[in-house]
Amino acid sequence: MSHPDDLLARAWAEREESLYPRLLGALGPGLYPLDAAVFSTVFGQDSVDPRWLTIGVFECPPTPDRLGWAYVSSGLSNPWDETEAEPDSVSGLGMEFLLQTTERAPWALTLVQRFCAYQLLLAAGRMGNHAPLDLWDRMRIGAPIDNADSQLQALVFVAAEHLGDIQSLVSGQFRFLQMLPLTLDEHAFGQQHDFETVVEQLQAHHAAPVVDPRRGSIALQPPA
């Protein structure tokens, strides 16, 4: 039987040295890991699994094939407890976060880090009976997305279709949960109608998947 660290190291290297560079290009200056403060200050959690602090976010600059900056988590798909390679299984939490912005954005890096921490706490049962975030989950975040004057104050989590639905590692599969910021009006429209329509119309207006925090609300039309 393989040692779990062997599979973990192989999957980690495959994700960061092969898969991510192929999908996203250069990964920037390195991983920005979570620190204990995000758990204690933001979520009131003073007890932290040390493995969580190895998880972080890459800040990927634009490439000739990809507009804007990409902020992508790395480590939520780590197979911490698996020992055998099972390509058809779920690797770790089965997901990584992705947020794409028109410009380099420190707020985006911080936001993805916070949602990594939140997802880890959800998966560990630290946030009551709430399940981990998944496709088409949505929420108001209670403040402008850039912590300044952006009208984008809500989020919906969608598939990163431009990168492919399911990603494969030696340890199993995961998908990207793309974080798509919305205005409160767009969020309300999605609640009244459906969020698939919201995303389709934002894409048609070039407001997704790359996010400009300075944009205003798009005039959305109800589905026929």
pLDDT digits (tens, 9 = 90+) for 165-183: 899 999 999 999 999 999 9
Tell me if 15 is assigned to some domain.
yes
Tell me if 150 is assigned to some domain.
no
Tell me if 224 is assigned to some domain.
no
pLDDT the model gives residue 92: 96
User: Any bridge partners for residue 58, and if so which?
Assistant: 72
Ranges of beta strands (E only) in the chain are 32-33, 56-60, 69-74, 90-101, 138-140, 152-159, 167-169, 172-183, 210-211
Query: Could you read off the pLDDT of 45-74 as tens digits, one per residue?
Result: 999 999 999 999 999 999 998 999 999 999
Tell me if 210 is assigned to some domain.
no
Do 80 and 40 touch, CB atoms closer than 8 A? no
**Domain ranges, residue 88:** 4-136+159-180
Do 104 and 90 touch, CB atoms closer than 8 A? no
Tell me if 75 is assigned to some domain.
yes
Tell me if 50 is assigned to some domain.
yes
With a cut of 70, list the residues of the chain below it in pLDDT: 1-4
Token pair in block for residue 4: 């779990």
pLDDT the model gives residue 196: 97
Tell me if 206 is assigned to some domain.
no
The number of folded domains in the chain is: 1
Tell me if 132 is assigned to some domain.
yes
